[in-house]
Amino acid sequence: MIPSVLFVCLGNICRSPLAEAAFREEARRLKLEVVVDSAGTGGWHVGEPPDPRAQAVARRNGVDISALRARQVKPADFRRFTHVVALDDDNLANLRRLAPADATAELSLLLDHVEGREGQPVADPYFGDDDGFDLTWTDVTVGARSLAQKLRRND
């Protein structure tokens, strides 16, 4: 079965679009066939492109995320995706609440996939300065790399 991964943050305009982009790049490098998407637990930014600061950090790292549009997590996501990956604990807790009884997706925290960083959040950069987005990119890249390697090994 082809793995499918949904990355989830709060607004789907900063962290999860960057995680989606970093993971897609990593999967391409590893020649891993995978379905990737992202969503937010909140609905404030539905239909919007990623935050300009997120678009800028992606561009600095060679990835164009300008065509992505924010959407909110829905019950069907818990059946459609094999993996639903939260960017922080608050969003993971909300996902556990939102998951329908027949959910099949495996829920996790992105940095749980990184040895030595289990339980750590990818900090919300929205209310901070531009440097925060560089840290976000670093964190989601490390997480995406570990997750892609795990999926390739099939564990």
Residues forming the active site = 9, 15, 124
CB nearer ligand 4NP, residue 13 or residue 147: 13
| 144 scored as a contact of ligand 4NP (CB under 6 A) | no
CB nearer ligand 4NP, residue 37 or residue 124: 124
Please state, as a whole number, how many other Cβ atoms lie within 10 Å of the Cβ of residue 5: 26
Query: Which residues from 1-40 bind ligand 4NP, rule CB under 6 A?
Result: 9-15
x-marked contacts with ligand 4NP along 89-128 as a string, rule CB under 6 A: -----------------------------------x-x--
Using DSSP, state whether 81 is helix, strand or coil.
coil
Query: Which residues from 124-143 bind ligand 4NP, rule CB under 6 A?
Result: 124, 126
Distance from C-alpha of 18 to C-alpha of 105, rounded to nearest angstrom: 21
Torsion of the alpha carbons at 122, 125, 130 and 131, rounded to the nearest 10:
-30
Distance from C-alpha of 54 to C-alpha of 66, rounded to nearest angstrom: 9
Residues that bind ligand 4NP in the complex, under the rule CB under 6 A: 9-15, 44, 124, 126
